[in-house]
Amino acid sequence: MEKQHYLKLIEQELNTAPWFVQEFYQAKATVPLSSATLYQYLTEYRRFFTWLISEGLTSATAPTDIQIDELANLKKETVELYKSALLNQTKLTGARGSRSHPTINRSLNALSSLFKYLTEDTEDDQGEAYFDRNVMHKIALVRTNETYATRAANLKDQLMLGSTDHDYLDFIANHYIEVLTPAQRRYFLRDRQRDLAINALLLGSGLRVSEAANADKRQLNLSTGTISVVRKGGQQDTVPIAPWTLPYIEDYLSNRKNLYHPTNQDHALFLSRYRGQASRMQANSIEKMVAKYSAAFNIRITPHKLRHTLASKLYLATKNEQLVATQLGQNSTSATGLYTHIIDDEQRKGLKKM
């Protein structure tokens, strides 16, 4: 299982982490944050500590030797230098700035989470936080050099708007088999209903790929057309599913047992067969599956773009950013402005009247 894979990686990271990072992990693992998120946080801390050592900004010779007092007294200038180092590293590798900024901001957000924990959520022998000064409050995230309109224009061609999402599922159901060899058809025919159900669920709910992969069968309620998932940050959420996608999911569930022969312990909603046994389908397998079908459909897409598709079409139908944010499991509308630019043609109509 993917969770077990991440737990092994997390164990390796913890073996080289300072005690306060190990404590942070134990606290956040009970929230719970996902194993994938926690692993990403731990790798970011190792990267930061390794940078401090390489720059001679600490007397420690290994990340495990970093002292908590060094974080308490960390200067804003030092963190700004680290941010600059990340930016320069991106430039050297030739990555476009608009693509690298979210990655850098994930690094900064990971550090912010650690500092928030150490300054607000910890308690020493006197009942006080380990230290008070949170230098990350003074660090701004990297701003993208593209406007919403530019980002929307670049994204729009990668979405399945109009009737394209319906056509995509019809292609998988009825036409993809035409490009396969006889040997490939055997596995496709076994997995077709499952693959249709996964694509339909992503298009009909806007779930993240990890949320779909981690979902259990009992969390799906076809009578209400909803699925319960654990969002980022460990929050439980009940997500409505677009009615037009439910028949694909129902077809899969009616054949799930005959196709994959699960035991009573196989609770995963989406299964695969490995060495003759049922197992949970992993997020990376879903990503490869979506890439395979969408490439054959001539719109190379990712599960995250299916999420963008749902958000854009929902905004088109409702013109309500808050509803879109709620559907996506976001606590604010700060990230939904992009969708208004993707489908809002008012600006273009205004220009035509000039």
Laid out side by side, the sheet with 236-240 consists of 220-221, 226-230, 236-240
Give the pLDDT confidence score for residue 331 in this predicted structure: 74
pLDDT at residue 69 greater than cutoff 80: yes
Q: How distant, in Å, are the alpha carbons of 166, 314, 343 from that of 163?
A: 5, 14, 14
Pick the more confident residue, 97 or 109.
109
pLDDT of residue 354: 45
Residue position matching structure tokens 């990230």: 335
Instruction: State the virtual CA torsion across 322, 323, 325, 331 in degrees, nearest 10.
Output: 60
CATH fold group of domain 154-349: hpI Integrase; Chain A (1.10.443)
Please provide the average confidence, as pLDDT, over all residues in the chain.
87
Asked if 287 and 303 touch (Cβ cutoff 8 Å), the reply is yes
List, as own/partner pairs, every contact residues 328-336 make where C-beta atoms lie below 8 angstroms and the sequence separation is at least 24, other chains included. Answer: 328/206, 329/229, 329/231, 329/232, 329/235, 329/237, 329/239, 336/311
Pinpoint the residues of the chain covered by CATH 1.10.443.10. Answer: 154-349
Q: What percent of the chain has pLDDT over 90?
A: 60
Give residue 95's pLDDT.
46
Higher pLDDT, 191 or 334: 191
Please give the share of the chain, as a percent, with pLDDT higher than 70: 86
Question: How far, in Å, CA of 264 to CA of 327, rounded?
Answer: 31
Residue 217 near residue 269, CB atoms below 8 Å: yes
